[in-house]
Structure 1
Amino acid sequence: MSIQRRTFITAVGGGLAAGLAGCLGNEETDGSAEINGTTLTVSTTTSTYDTGLLDEINLPFEERYGVTIDTVSQGTGAALETAERGDSDVVMVHARSLEDEFLEDGYGVNRRDLMFNDFVVVGSADDPAGIAGSEDVTGAFDAIADSGTTFVSRGDNSGTHTKELNIWEQASSEPGGDWYQEIGDGMGDVLLNADQQGGYTLSDRGTYLSMQDELDLEIHVQGPIEGGPELLENPYGIVAVNPAVHDNVEYDLAMAYIGYVTGPEGQKLIENFTANGEQLFFPQALSEDPDFQQYVPEGWSASDGE
C-alpha cells in the first residue's frame, strides 16, 4: 500500500483504543497517575534520537508519571541486542525483519506499529553518478557503483544498513572496493562523512532533514512519501521486552510508555514534530482498520501456533 497518501486518524473511540498496549496513553494529565518503576530504559535507533523526536515525546510522559527515561541510542541491531540482554525495557526500531527475529526468539512482546517515514538517496550537488530524479533506486545504486563514486555505508547492522543491503541484493552490482566505505557509525556521522567526501549515502528522511542546514548534500532519489519507490519505505515499531525472559525489566512502565506513544497524545506529538519546517515522522498507530499483523512476526497466522 502506498504511504504517500496515508492519513492520520485523530478520532479515537472505543473501537479505536490503543489495542494490546492498553489505554494508559489516555490518562488525564492531573499528576495523579501512578505506576510501578522509576526509570524506563529505551534502546532505540539513532534516527529517533538524533532528530530530537525523543526529547519531544518523552518529557510529557516523564512529567505525568514522575519517572525518568534513559535513552540508549544505537543502530537497530545493537538496540535489539541490548534488549535481548535485558539491559532495556522497550525497543523503538525500524527493521521489521530484525524485529520479527526478536519476537520469534521470545525476547519481545506486544509489538505495535508506531510511525513511518522513508529513506532517500543523498549525494553532492554535482551528482557524478547522474542519478538525480531516478525512480529506480536499484538502478541508482548500480550507477553509483559503475561510476566508482564514494558510497558511505552505515555498516552497523542498523535498520538503515539492513535496508541498504536489501537494495544491493536487488541491484545488479555488488558493494565493494575503494569506492564503498563502511564506517560502522550512526546516521548523523555517515551524512557528515558523505558530505566531506562528496559521495552518496542512504539516509532516513528525518535525520537528513534535521541536518540539512549543515550539509551540502541533496536528495537525488526520493522515497514513497514524495512519490518514490515503495522499496524505500521506512516503518518504525515499538516492542516491550518480555518479562518472562528478563524479570528485571520494568514491564508495567514499558507498557504504559507504549500506550502513551501509540495513543492520541503521543501520535499527535509525532505528527507535529518538524525540522526546517518539514514533518519528519508520520504517525501510524491509530487506524479505523487496525492491522493484526503488527503484533506478530510478518507472515504469521493462527495456524502457526497449532
Structure 2
Amino acid sequence: MKLKQIFSLSLIAMLIFMMTACSNSTDETSSKQEEQPKAAEEVKDLILATTTSTQDSGLLDVLIPMFEEESNTNVQPIAVGTGQALEMGKKGEADVLLVHAPDSEQELVDSGDAINRKRVMYNDFILVGPANDPAGIKGMEVGEAFQKLFNDGAVFISRGDDSGTHKKELDIWKSLELTPGDNTSYAETGQGMGNTLLVAAEKQGYVITDRATYLAQKESLDLEILVEGDEDLLNIYHVMQINPEKHDKVFSEGAEKFVDFMINEETQKVIEEFGQEEYGEPLFFPYTE
C-alpha cells in the first residue's frame, strides 16, 4: 500500500475516533443534565391560629406533619384563646383558623373576613373539681352546679382569656343572671387551658374545661369530672380560611388546602382514633357537614 493511502486511511480513522469520542461526551453531558434533580419547589409558611386545646391535647402534633408532607407547606401554629385567634383573622394576621366559638366565628364570616367555614369535629365541656367535692355538685346539671358554686363561694378558676372555653363559661353565668366576680373566691388566670387546669388543681378549685385537654393532662391533676353530658356543654370546632379579597397578604392557596385537609376522610379517621389507645376514649369526634 502506498504511503499516501496509508496516511489517508489513518486520517479517516482518527476523525472517526474523534467524532465518536465527542458524541459520547455529549451524550454523557446530556445524561448528567437529565439526571440533575429539578429545583425543589418553594416551601411556603402557613400561619394557623388555633385554640390551646388543639395544641395541649396533642392533636396538632399528629395532624400538622401529615398536612406538611402532602402540601409542601410549613405550618406555623399559634395556639391562643379563640377570641385572640379570631382577632388575628380579623386583622389578616393568620391564613387559616381552627377554633370553637360558633357565634363569634359567624360574626367573622358575616363581616367578610373569613370564608369557607367548615365544621370539623366536636367534644364537650366538662366541670371538674376536687375529688372530695366540697360544694357537693357531682351529678348536677351544669346550671344548677354553677349556681351552687356561686352560692357557696367555692373556689372557681376561670381562664379569663376570651377563649372558646371562657366564652362558654360566661354564657352559663349570664344565663343564671350572675356576676362571677361577686364571688371573692373566683379567679382568672388569663392563660391557656393546660395552665388553668394546673392552677385549679393547686388551689383545689372548680374549673370548666374541654374534655380533650383534661384527659391529656389527667395524670398530673388531682381533679375529677363532676358535671358532664349536658346538651349545653357541646363543644364544636370549625376551620375557616381568611378572605384573600379582604386581606391580600394571606396565603390563600395553602389555607384552602388546609380546610380541605381537615375535612377529608383520612384526616377525619385520624381524629376519630386520636386518644383511644392512650386514654381509652377518643378526645374528639369527627363532625363534618
**Does TM-score exceed 0.5, indicating one fold?**
yes
Pick from 179, 194, 207: which aligns with 2:185? 179
Q: Is the 8 A contact 2:59 2:274 kept in 1?
A: yes
Where does 1:101-112 land on structure 2 (aligned, <5 Å)?
101-112=107-118
Structure 2: any 5+ residue segments left out of the alignment?
Answer: 1-39
Equivalence for 2:212: 206
Overall identity of the aligned pairs, in %: 44
Equivalence for 1:257: 258
Q: 1:172: Cα distance to partner? A: 5.2
Equivalence for 1:189: 195
Equivalence for 2:88: 82
**TM-superposition CA deviations, 1:230-288 (whole Å, max 9, x none):** 01000000110000111111111111111111000111111111042321000111xxx
- After superposition, the Cα gap between the structure-2 partners of 1:35 and 1:233, relative to the gap in structure 1 and judged at 3 Å, is farther
**Matching residue's letter, 1:174:** T
Q: 1:38: Cα distance to partner? A: 1.3
Equivalence for 1:230: 231
Equivalence for 1:153: 158
**Matching residue's letter, 2:80:** Q
Q: Is the 8 A contact 1:209 1:278 kept in 2?
A: no
**Matching residue's letter, 1:114:** V
- After superposition, the Cα gap between the structure-2 partners of 1:35 and 1:61, relative to the gap in structure 1 and judged at 3 Å, is farther
- For residues 203 and 142 of structure 2, the distance between their equivalents in structure 1, rounded to whole angstroms, comes to 21
1:280 equivalent in alignment to 2:283: yes
TM-score by length of 1: 0.78
Q: Is the 8 A contact 1:209 1:276 kept in 2?
A: yes
Q: Is the 8 A contact 2:98 2:240 kept in 1?
A: yes
Equivalence for 1:297: none
**Matching residue's letter, 1:161:** H
**Matching residue's letter, 1:153:** S
Equivalence for 2:37: none
Pick from 53, 56, 59: which aligns with 2:59? 53
> Of the two, which has the highest radius of gyration?
2
Q: Is the 8 A contact 2:239 2:262 kept in 1?
A: no
- After superposition, the Cα gap between the structure-2 partners of 1:108 and 1:36, relative to the gap in structure 1 and judged at 3 Å, is farther
By relative contact order (CA 8 Å, sep 6+), the higher-ranking structure is 1
Comparing both structures, which one devotes a greater share of its residues to helix? 2
**Matching residue's letter, 2:248:** D
Q: 1:36: Cα distance to partner? A: 8.2
